[in-house]
Amino acid sequence: MNITELTVHELKDKLKNKEISVMDITNSYIDRINDKEKDVQAFVTTLTQEALEQAKNISGEEGEYAGIPIGIKDNICTKGIKTTCSSKMLENFVAPYDASVMEKINQSGMITLGKLNMDEFAMGASTEYSYFKKTRNPWNLNTVPGGSSGGSAAAVAAGMVPWALGSDTGGSIRQPASFCGVVGLKPTYGLVSRYGLVAFASSLDQIGPITKDVEDAAMLLNIIAGHDEKDTTSENIEKKDYTKALIQDVKGMKIGVPREYFGEGINPEVKAKLEESIQTYKKMGAEVEEFSLDIAEYALATYYIIACAEASSNLGRFDGIRYGYRTKNFKNLKDIYRNSRTEGFGAEVKRRIILGTYVLSSGYYDAYYKKAQQVRTLVKKEFDKAFEKYDLILTPTSPTVAFEIGTRSNNPLEMYLADICTVSVNIAGLPAISIPCGVNSDNMPIGMQLIGNKFEEDKILRAAYAFEKEIKFRDNYKPEFRK
Ligand code: GLN
């Protein structure tokens, strides 16, 4: 038995039956990191020594997940451990407190194995915009893992952590999950607390699970979901047990397929695999119907206006005085501000701040920001209308499979297109999952996205679970660490 190939629900069963111990698990993961990290480069900070110490002292009474390892995206604050957002600006930032999700992770008895690489401040779709390193896709090391949670997705795919947390503002959980052949769930806006998540675009950001399978995603969502007084956008709704949704049955479920997501720009092999998946759902007894979501065409432009506007405001605090890196090169206060920001931020972050400041400036506010907010309302309305008819909406997660390192990093527009299928979900505040639905002719994973109505994570999980059981992706395909 190879411990690092097991899912968390399998690990838990084996722990319970005393087939393996917490030390076995910890040691296996540390060996795996020592073996694979040099190729994959998923971690900003590894905590292997700390994990060993913790593992030695685990009695099993610490919580439901005592001794289960996890990896955390490096924009989620961890008390006493660096939280860098993969930026020079926060290279040495040690959070004095835990994010609310981390309190829950710690209470469950889990052991944090490390902080995972990402695009700087979660801006990007390939993890190439990290200040520290470029993470590689375990299926083919010459390709990107996607982004911005590329470290989280690659670490799970490579078996260096059994599961991880990511964050998703426009696709950053789902798109890397799709590129790395794992499961990524972006919860409904307000379901998971954002307290202690370094803000990129506050009205869009959500933390969510990246896992090997759907059952693990439901389990991790159970841990992190719930009302939090420290986050004013956190919703106070009745708690659900998402594992109850995992029944192997989609009979009678109504799935809508928006034709706009299957048109120009979608790679033919991706399209073919998605069409096959639609047939699979039909075979399993779901009702699948095509419809039009024509506002989708405007979602990407709307997203980049809103996200950049909010980012320009959120990142104002990193000025070398209040927060973050301070330049050594200054003669006066103005120099400190200007040079700290010039030296501390990378090119993509600067681009977003400039764009965001522009769309919020007095002469352009009405033409761009206000317009984008109006379109946002229309996007929400179109989804509301769709959910009157359908339980779920099915689309590709990304128009392509993982692309080669270096092929898009100098072309922001090309990079932005990687999220064309995911951003509208954040604009509307909806939940969505990406699960692998097959591979292309080059053995690279393809992701399918299932979008649900607000707080209907259970429906998404049910449909994803049934599909996963049907196609058995993990039994048939594995990352090869191709060089
Ligand atoms: N790729 C998108 C962007 O760069 C999404 C990022 C995210 O979800 N954090 O904005």
Mutate to test the pocket of ligand 1, among 116, 172, 427 (most ligand atoms within 8 A of CB): 172
Q: Answer whether residue 381 shows pLDDT above 90.
A: yes
pTM across the whole model: 0.98
Residue 130 designated active-site: no
Tell me the per-residue pLDDT of 93-140, one tens digit each, with 9 for 90 and over.
999 999 999 999 999 999 999 999 999 999 999 999 999 999 999 999
Mean pLDDT of the chain: 97
206 CB within 6 A, ligand 1:
no
171 CB within 6 A, ligand 1:
yes
- Please give the average per-residue pLDDT across 192-220, as a whole number: 98
Q: What is the pLDDT of residue 378?
A: 97
Q: What is the pLDDT of residue 28?
A: 98
Eight-state DSSP code of residue 128: T
Q: What is the pLDDT of residue 91?
A: 98
Q: Answer whether residue 60 shows pLDDT above 90.
A: no
Q: What is the pLDDT of residue 1?
A: 83
Residue 133 designated active-site: no
310 CB within 6 A, ligand 1:
no
Q: What is the pLDDT of residue 87?
A: 98
Domain ranges of the chain: 3-256+387-476
324 CB within 6 A, ligand 1:
no
Of the residues 152, 172, 277, 312, only one is catalytic, namely 172
Q: Which amino acid is at 1?
A: M
Tell me the per-residue pLDDT of 78-90, one tens digit each, with 9 for 90 and over.
999 999 999 999 9
Q: Which amino acid is at 222?
A: N
153-192: burial string, b at 16+ Cβ within 10 Å, e else: bbbbbbbbbbbbbbbbbbbbbbbbbbbbbbbbbbbbbbbb
Q: What is the pLDDT of residue 89?
A: 98
Of the residues 73, 186, 273, 454, only one is catalytic, namely 73
| Ligand 1, atom 10, residue with closest C-alpha | 123
User: Which class would CATH give 3-256+387-476?
Assistant: alpha beta
Tell me the per-residue pLDDT of 258-283, one tens digit each, with 9 for 90 and over.
999 998 889 999 999 999 999 999 99
Residue 172 designated active-site: yes
CA angle 351, 354, 360 (to 5 degrees): 135
